[in-house]
């Protein structure tokens, strides 16, 4: 008897989410099977990688990931154009780091202006991220959502402490929204419920279960993502059916493994190579656990993961 | 667990009047409420319906399905009325359920209808000779119904076995026997047979304020033993069903799980 591949079928399906406008809009999600298991069902869209840029020069990024952008990173508009035109980015994630009270403490108005400038320079979708300061984000993201009205951006991240104002702003200006909770599947479901109870369409949500870097709790993120995806597919839990984002770069490029010099730790090998590998393997792991949208930094790591996606699909 | 919303019964005065006057308003309102509160199917009980049963069942099925995107459980002993209802049933939202066949030869034609119209069917484990004495007798009757279903060409996956819940006030010992029967029914086939109960029978004849309490706790024990479906008032049992789904790991917990 010929070998027959055993197949799982699921009752649930991940919502497809489209971001951006016109010819350069991209769609991710939409599958009714576990990641890359296209032989069991339908996987209409491949995962999307967004290049991360900042509103202020990346003084806190390690040398190795600062370098590829050194000619452009002094200006978010140039930086965005470089990612789109030279690196072929399908989406750009603008992190408004400069608005954090402990950094430049830029105002919501400053942030809105940066968003407007970047949007007028690019045609690929934009993901607008706050500085992860709950209180400040709720001012900054409201102003930015308005500045980006009708551009079908992603606004992030709404958290338990500040979701109300951010949800209202995303809803009023017709954007998609990232809902982030801190590595807890039940709180992640609860936040999605609270957000949809405000009238926000669950098919416009993106879940961020909180990322981590390889070696720094990646297995927790992996496990939470995997369980979210199983709840979506096997239990047909509509609150867990939005696609998931993995915010990879910011976690990877602050750990020792992406910064320690080879001279200090010779057994760790070439630092340049090590950093790229670390970001790529963290991203690939999170794709396998269920992420549909990745936010990454290093062009070589992005290329490696693009290759991984096309080989796995 | 599947809740089959039971509020549309000819026994209720308001429903009976609406049926007689063919007044869609109250029927659709009740169906909608059941749906919103968690029913996955609506029971349409038109009684024996000897006169005009066909028209009435067709009217009920279309009236219900105009208001809610759910399948209907066709609840009557009138064979022609069931067939008439099946003909107009919209399967877009799920397949209908015939309520019911049993081990009584008069009810065998219902199996024929299920096969002919690709409907699911409830097999009530009673025979012509009165009520079953215990769980074992219920399981014996269930096996006979299953054998007959296969002769008629009804797949076993389309049968919901009903152990017949009796009133706790008059037949207390049967409360436990029914629970045992639900467990035994599932062992009659692989994959396990589906099971259903008419839940409110347990508290029939009891004081009004006790009824929801009895229904709720009885349902808890039945679901724990693997019950697939209950004909019940969604309003009264949704909380129990959702909570047990959480405890049994079938739904992911969140603080607002009752609101979903």
A21-46 per-position pLDDT tens digit: 999 999 999 999 999 999 999 999 99
CA–CA min distance A213, chain B (Å): 26
Interface test with B, best of A179, A186, A196 (most B CBs within 10 A): A186
Q: Is B252 close to A185, i.e. CB distance below 8 A?
A: yes
Interface test with B, best of A190, A207, A226 (most B CBs within 10 A): A190
- pLDDT level of residue A111 (50, 70, 90 thresholds): very high
At A295 the pLDDT is 98
Place of tokens 């599932």: B186
Across residues B191-217, what is the average pLDDT? 96
Minimal Cα distance from A238: which residue of B?
A: B260
At B73 the pLDDT is 98
- pLDDT level of residue B260 (50, 70, 90 thresholds): confident
Say which of A186, A194, A197 has its CB closest to residue B252.
A186
Beta bridge partners of residue A208, listed in sequence order: A180
Query: Could you tell me how many residues make up chain B?
Result: 260
Beta bridge partners of residue B160, listed in sequence order: B122, B194
Q: Is B256 close to A185, i.e. CB distance below 8 A?
A: no
CA–CA min distance A186, chain B (Å): 5
User: pLDDT tens for residues A55-64?
Assistant: 999 999 999 9
ipTM: 0.86
Interface test with B, best of A237, A240, A242 (most B CBs within 10 A): A237
At B193 the pLDDT is 98
Q: Is A237 close to B252, i.e. CB distance below 8 A?
A: yes
Give phi and psi for A247, each to the nearest 5. -90, 80
At A1 the pLDDT is 76
Instruction: Find the Cα–Cα–Cα–Cα dihedral A70, A280, A89, A131, rounded to 10°.
Output: -70
Chain B contact for A239 (CB, 8 A cutoff): yes
Going from the C-alpha of B47 to that of each of B57, B76, B79, the distances in angstroms are 10, 5, 12
Asked if residues A91 and A124 have their Cβ atoms less than 8 Å apart, the reply is yes
B239: pLDDT strictly greater than 90: yes
Q: Is the peptide bond before B191 cis (omega within 30 degrees of 0)?
A: yes
What is the rounded distance in angstroms from the CA atom of residue A5 to the CA atom of residue A26?
Answer: 32
B228: pLDDT strictly greater than 80: yes
- pLDDT level of residue B130 (50, 70, 90 thresholds): confident
Q: Is B74 helix (H, G, I), strand (E, B) or coil?
A: strand
Could you give the domains of chain A? Answer: 17-312 (3.20.20.20)
Chain B contact for A240 (CB, 8 A cutoff): yes
Say which of A190, A237, A240 has its CB closest to residue B255.
A190
Which residues of chain A neighbour B254 with C-beta distances below 8 Å?
Answer: 186-187, 189-190, 193, 239
Tell me how crowded residue A222 is: count the other CB atoms within 10 A of its CB: 22
Going from the C-alpha of B90 to that of each of A15, A82, B64, B70, the distances in angstroms are 27, 56, 10, 9
CA–CA min distance A231, chain B (Å): 7
Minimal Cα distance from A231: which residue of B?
A: B252
Contacts of B130 (CB under 8 A, 6+ apart): none
Asked if residues A243 and A14 have their Cβ atoms less than 8 Å apart, the reply is yes
Mean pLDDT of chain A: 97
Helix (H), strand (E) at residue B230: strand B229-232
Please name which of A162, A156, A172 lies closest in space to residue A207, comparing C-alpha atoms: A156
A260: pLDDT strictly greater than 90: yes
Which residues of chain A neighbour B253 with C-beta distances below 8 Å?
Answer: 186, 189
Beta bridge partners of residue A146, listed in sequence order: none
Q: Is A185 close to B250, i.e. CB distance below 8 A?
A: no
What is the rounded distance in angstroms from the CA atom of residue A181 to the CA atom of residue A190?
Answer: 9
Which residues of chain A neighbour B256 with C-beta distances below 8 Å?
Answer: 190, 193-194, 197
Which residues of chain B neighbour A225 with C-beta distances below 8 Å?
Answer: none
Taking only residues 192 to 251 of chain B, the set having a beta carbon closer than 8 angstroms to any beta carbon of chain A reads 250-251
Across residues A73-101, what is the average pLDDT? 98
What is the rounded distance in angstroms from the CA atom of residue B45 to the CA atom of residue B31?
Answer: 13
What is the rounded distance in angstroms from the CA atom of residue A306 to the CA atom of residue A46?
Answer: 10
CA–CA min distance A77, chain B (Å): 41
Environment class of A248 (CB within 10 Å of its CB; exposed 0-12, middle 13-18, buried 19+) = buried
CA–CA min distance A39, chain B (Å): 25
Beta bridge partners of residue B162, listed in sequence order: B124
Q: Is A193 close to B253, i.e. CB distance below 8 A?
A: no
A98: pLDDT strictly greater than 90: yes
Give phi and psi for A72, each to the nearest 5. -120, -15
Asked if residues A208 and A182 have their Cβ atoms less than 8 Å apart, the reply is no
At A82 the pLDDT is 98
Report the helix count and the strand count for chain B, using DSSP H and E: 9, 8
| Chain A with chain B: Cβ pairs closer than 8 A | 30
Q: Is B254 close to A186, i.e. CB distance below 8 A?
A: yes
Chain B contact for A190 (CB, 8 A cutoff): yes
Instruction: Find the Cα–Cα–Cα–Cα dihedral A259, A181, B246, B217, rounded to 10°.
Output: 140
At A76 the pLDDT is 98
B219: pLDDT strictly greater than 80: yes
Q: Is B256 close to A197, i.e. CB distance below 8 A?
A: yes
User: pLDDT tens for residues A214-242?
Assistant: 999 999 999 999 999 999 999 999 999 99
Share of chain B above pLDDT 70, in %: 100
Across residues B143-157, what is the average pLDDT? 97
Q: Is B251 close to A235, i.e. CB distance below 8 A?
A: yes
CA–CA min distance B214, chain A (Å): 29
User: pLDDT tens for residues B34-90?
Assistant: 999 999 999 999 998 888 899 999 999 999 999 999 999 999 999 999 999 999 999
Say which of A189, A194, A197 has its CB closest to residue B252.
A189
At B148 the pLDDT is 97
At B49 the pLDDT is 82
Across residues B202-226, what is the average pLDDT? 96
Which residues of chain B neighbour A227 with C-beta distances below 8 Å?
Answer: 252
């Amino acid at each position: 008897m010929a070998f027959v591949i055993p197949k799982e079928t699921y009752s649930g399906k991940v919502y497809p989410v489209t971001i951006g406008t016109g010819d350069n809009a991209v769609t991710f999600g939409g599958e009714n099977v576990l990641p890359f298991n296209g032989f069991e069902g339908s996987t209409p869209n491949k995962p999307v990688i967004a290049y991360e840029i900042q509103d202020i020069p990346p003084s806190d990024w390690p040398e190795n990931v600062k370098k590829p952008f050194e000619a452009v990173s002094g200006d978010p508009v140039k930086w965005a154009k470089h990612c789109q035109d030279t690196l072929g980015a399908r989406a750009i994630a603008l992190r408004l780091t400069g608005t954090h009270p402990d950094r430049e403490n830029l105002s919501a108005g400053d942030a809105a202006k940066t968003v407007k400038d970047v949007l007028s320079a690019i045609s690929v979708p934009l993901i607008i991220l706050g500085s992860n300061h709950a209180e400040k984000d709720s001012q900054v993201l409201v102003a930015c959502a308005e500045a980006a009205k009708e551009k079908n951006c992603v606004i992030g991240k709404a958290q338990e402490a500040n979701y109300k104002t951010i949800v209202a702003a995303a809803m009023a200006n017709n954007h998609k929204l990232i809902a982030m909770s801190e590595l807890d599947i039940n709180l992640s479901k609860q936040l999605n419920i609270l957000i949809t109870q405000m009238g926000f369409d669950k098919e416009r949500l993106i879940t961020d279960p909180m990322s981590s870097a390889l070696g720094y709790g990646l297995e927790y993120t992996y496990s939470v993502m995997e369980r979210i995806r199983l709840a979506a597919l096997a239990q047909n839990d509509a609150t867990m059916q939005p696609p998931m984002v993995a915010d990879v770069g910011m976690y990877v490029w602050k750990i020792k493994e992406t910064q320690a010099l080879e001279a200090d730790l010779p057994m760790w090998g070439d630092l340049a190579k090590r950093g790229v590998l670390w970001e790529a393997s963290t991203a690939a792991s999170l794709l396998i656990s269920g992420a549909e949208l990745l936010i990454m930094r290093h062009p070589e790591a992005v290329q490696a993961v693009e290759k991984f996606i096309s080989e796995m699909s | 667990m599947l809740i089959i919303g039971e509020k549309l019964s000819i026994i209720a005065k308001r429903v009976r009047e609406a049926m007689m006057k063919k007044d869609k308003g109250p029927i659709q309102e009740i169906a909608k409420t059941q749906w919103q509160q968690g029913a996955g199917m609506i029971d349409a009980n038109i009684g024996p319906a000897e006169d005009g049963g066909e028209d009435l069942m067709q009217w009920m099925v279309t009236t219900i399905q105009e208001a809610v995107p759910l399948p209907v459980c066709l609840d009557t002993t009138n064979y022609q009325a069931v067939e008439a209802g099946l003909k107009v049933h919209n399967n877009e939202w799920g397949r209908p359920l015939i309520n019911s066949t049993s081990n009584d030869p008069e009810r065998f034609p219902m199996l024929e209808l299920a096969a002919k119209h690709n409907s699911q069917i409830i097999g009530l484990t009673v025979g012509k000779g009165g009520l079953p004495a215990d769980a074992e007798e219920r399981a014996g009757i269930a096996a006979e119904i299953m054998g007959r279903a296969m002769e008629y060409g009804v797949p076993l996956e389309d049968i919901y076995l009903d152990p017949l819940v009796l009133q706790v006030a008059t037949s207390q010992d049967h409360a436990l026997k029914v629970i045992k029967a639900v467990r035994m029914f599932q062992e009659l086939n692989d994959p396990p047979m589906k099971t259903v109960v008419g839940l409110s029978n347990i508290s029939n004849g009891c004081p009004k304020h006790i009824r929801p309490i009895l229904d709720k706790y009885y349902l808890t024990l039945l679901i724990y033993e693997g019950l697939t479906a209950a004909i019940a008032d969604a309003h009264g049992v949704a909380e129990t069903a959702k909570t047990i789904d959480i405890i049994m790991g079938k739904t992911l917990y969140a603080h607002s799980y009752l609101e979903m």
